[in-house]
Structure 1
């Protein structure tokens, strides 16, 4: 575009100059070797310009002739390079599509057209073709050669890392990832792999240091980096809770500053503060976390903050949590459990049924079964609630890659991924279509069998059974050690039944009916005799 503008301006300037000369006529005289040459000004200017143009064209032609061999050579070399890059592009596409034969053919063609030291992608194409054909040793050798070249070092380390992971050589994969992270901390795959490997080894300090480097290199976004740092700090606090409560407290509080609604950090911070007898501060942390996200671990830690509290004291603390987050299933459940421990069955039943109306899940029905066992001891009602629990969805738990854990873990035990656990219902039950929870509970209450025996009758029966057992245990051994014959005699006398002598179990012979006893079976004259 700029050249076109310059050309137009030059033509305009030349035309304007000729027009200016045409408006001002004159003659030009030239005396050369005694000869006088005269011509008009416009003709002289035209001849001068034509002479300059001819001179430039001549110089161009001479230069073209001189540089023609190099130009021809450069043309054929460029054409060959274009063909090589075309073959390389076709080979990479074939390798991505899984066509090993075409990829190998295009790799050989591109190597013959382009020098491998000038184009490192040829090594990548050959390595990919070897991987597709199953020649892993050759591919590994290619990746090692690429790792030695500064231009392709990152690509070679990436290939070696993936090969080590495929073979299950986790230690070799860790070394490749750490080498790549040290030389290029901006690589996301190396950063993630190195963080996970150091976390699996429990090297929390090294993992935090590496995370700071990667944050400075903008590998992770700020929210993601803060989340990962909070996870690492919480994991280190969990490990230091028994040996160093002060350090665990500092780590957990630092994690809470980064992620304020991180429940494991709040629980660890509260437990560390409990060990330092700072109950008020720990309770404030748990209440703040409970207000943001009600979690059963927070509630359990809060209710059982002091080991010497009575059941009614724990019930009061549970009711305080319910006041912070009313009409919440976790609030209702913690109050119901505390009321059951305090033997306040009416309150426990009301809270449990209210929780079932919100979300009828397994833990709610198990709580109702425990309540029936403690209050009525009616096995029919207990089995009814247990049957409801079998059909109900499971309670939320820490889930990562299909693995269900009752406590939070920083890493997935399946894949080793950092910060993989989430609090949800296992097996994607949370995504299932929800039904009318109130209707389900009403149906369960309608089909609940009535109480077979009252609490008072059960208590009297248990006391009577206990008294009988005590009387039997206190009776002398002589009175209870009567012989079998004497017991049978007394029973027969009470019933006015004559004792018959014992007969052997096998009786008499099959062909001998024996002699009838006239006393045992008197003769009846009115009876019809056949013989």
Structure 2
């Protein structure tokens, strides 16, 4: 209804305007070719308006007629472009479905139809990588590096290719080049950071981590990595520069509260300075949050020159803050054995004897039987149980165990890989009839169920490192 009203109103307005123009007073004299015309002014203006409208209409018709070849050309170009887009789409689908040969063919077709489209070129290079045509892929990526719009994508592809070819140095160079072009690239920053950490260049890794852009979701991760790196640098400087080491260890504890490795470094330095009370306070605070046996052992041996009885007294005061805690009772039993308090050592271990005892418990029980009763048979029985007993918790990263915490995995170089946990025993399998000779294990720290006595001795040695 409203539309009809508007149409009627517009028609009336046009008619009113035309009648007003025609009715304008005055006339116009036109002389041409010996003829003279004197039409009215309004009629002349109205005729000129009609003439302009007719000219525009005729020009539009002529333009359409003369533009037919260009119209056909544009239609052909659009069809070619649509086929190119369809080929590019099908190439992406083929690559994702595991058909790199068809993906490469379609990507090449898309490049022809789309005029060397960057996405099609990148897709063709990725398909070449999937097919193992390293040289073709490398040529494609290097051609793309010359274009600022595709340089970062090409460096990403070259980085992945170098990783697949096990060329870490080349991969690192591509990542560094990518950072110079786009400093906020996550994959490039992670690659450079991992290389610093793997090579134990912790100072450079910490500086790079500080300059890395991070979002709100990554703040907790960045904060922990910062603490790990400061602890690693503190460990490197503990003997050569203890002042800087304790400063870094305290900074690490601010970022990772009650982090046992950082606390142990700081406490050892304090003990060496003679600040036993301050070290004991730090160890007690960490013990309440994480009752780690290394903390208890260092606390027991914090006072230089202390007798076995005094070390036992310190251990009892610390263990009293925890209840039914296996690591605490093992340390208490260890100190009680050293002080020849056999009943106390046995009482500390008694709740855990019937609950799948660990290797250290079996070894300690063997010492108790030998020292208190002199029963060699029972002592040997406990040592025999230690061989198949549950392994004690230790620092483990990628299946490799260590008595001390390390910042990186010795196998992969990954930062913050070590965890305090019990190693898992592997089930023995019957070897086949013919086996190829295997390479010797390069790392001597691969977890093997060590004897329980050696385990206890190593724990005591770790604790005495602070004296």
TM class by shorter-chain length? Answer: 0.7 to 0.9
1:78 aligned partner: 78
1:232 aligned partner: 229
Indicate which of 242, 255, 259 corresponds to 2:256.
259
- The superposition leaves residues 56-91 of structure 1 with CA deviations (integer Å, 9 ceiling, x where unpaired) of 765654554454444433332222122112212222
CA, structure 1 residues 357+57, in 2 after alignment: closer, same or farther (shift >3 Å)? farther
Secondary structure at 1:369 match in 2: helix
2:129 aligned partner: 131
Structure of larger gyration radius: 1
2:293 aligned partner: 296
Q: CA deviation at 1:176?
A: 2.3
1:283 aligned partner: 280
1:88 aligned partner: 88
CA, structure 1 residues 287+83, in 2 after alignment: closer, same or farther (shift >3 Å)? same
**TM-score normalised to the size of structure 1?**
0.69
Q: CA deviation at 1:308?
A: 0.9
**2:160 aligned with 1:162, yes or no?**
yes
**2:423 aligned with 1:426, yes or no?**
yes
Distance 1:139 1:38 in 2: 77
Q: CA deviation at 1:110?
A: 1.6
Q: How does 1:432-443 map to 2 (within 5 A)?
A: none
User: Does structure 2 retain, via aligned residues, the 8 Å contact 1:188–1:219?
Assistant: no
1:189 aligned partner: 187
User: Does structure 1 retain, via aligned residues, the 8 Å contact 2:129–2:137?
Assistant: yes
**TM-score normalised to the size of structure 2?**
0.78
Q: CA deviation at 1:399?
A: 2.0
Secondary structure at 2:395 match in 1: strand
Q: How does 1:122-521 map to 2 (within 5 A)?
A: 122-214=120-212, 216-218=213-215, 221-356=218-353, 360-427=357-424
Q: CA deviation at 1:253?
A: 0.5
Q: CA deviation at 1:153?
A: 2.2
Distance 2:343 2:417 in 1: 41
User: Does structure 1 retain, via aligned residues, the 8 Å contact 2:126–2:157?
Assistant: no
Q: CA deviation at 1:347?
A: 0.5
User: Does structure 2 retain, via aligned residues, the 8 Å contact 1:146–1:152?
Assistant: yes
Secondary structure at 2:158 match in 1: helix
Secondary structure at 1:160 match in 2: helix
CA, structure 1 residues 352+60, in 2 after alignment: closer, same or farther (shift >3 Å)? farther
CA, structure 1 residues 160+371, in 2 after alignment: closer, same or farther (shift >3 Å)? farther
**RMSD of aligned C-alpha atoms?**
3.5
User: Does structure 2 retain, via aligned residues, the 8 Å contact 1:340–1:371?
Assistant: yes
CA, structure 1 residues 317+357, in 2 after alignment: closer, same or farther (shift >3 Å)? farther
User: Does structure 1 retain, via aligned residues, the 8 Å contact 2:336–2:345?
Assistant: yes
CA, structure 1 residues 94+299, in 2 after alignment: closer, same or farther (shift >3 Å)? same
CA, structure 1 residues 219+209, in 2 after alignment: closer, same or farther (shift >3 Å)? farther
CA, structure 1 residues 219+79, in 2 after alignment: closer, same or farther (shift >3 Å)? farther
Secondary structure at 2:200 match in 1: coil
Secondary structure at 2:251 match in 1: helix
2:437 aligned partner: none
User: Does structure 1 retain, via aligned residues, the 8 Å contact 2:141–2:154?
Assistant: yes
In structure 1, the gaps of 5 or more residues are: 1-7, 40-44, 430-531
User: Does structure 1 retain, via aligned residues, the 8 Å contact 2:103–2:127?
Assistant: yes
1:465 aligned partner: none
Segment drifting more, 68-77 vs 233-242? 68-77
In structure 2, the gaps of 5 or more residues are: 28-36, 427-467
CA, structure 1 residues 162+58, in 2 after alignment: closer, same or farther (shift >3 Å)? same
Aligned length: 413
Secondary structure at 2:112 match in 1: helix
Distance 2:280 2:401 in 1: 29
User: Does structure 1 retain, via aligned residues, the 8 Å contact 2:393–2:423?
Assistant: yes
Q: CA deviation at 1:52?
A: 9.4
2:454 aligned partner: none
Q: CA deviation at 1:136?
A: 1.8
User: Does structure 2 retain, via aligned residues, the 8 Å contact 1:180–1:190?
Assistant: yes
User: Does structure 2 retain, via aligned residues, the 8 Å contact 1:208–1:229?
Assistant: yes
User: Does structure 1 retain, via aligned residues, the 8 Å contact 2:356–2:389?
Assistant: no
CA, structure 1 residues 259+359, in 2 after alignment: closer, same or farther (shift >3 Å)? farther
Q: How does 1:36-115 map to 2 (within 5 A)?
A: 60-65=60-65, 67-115=67-115
Q: CA deviation at 1:222?
A: 0.7
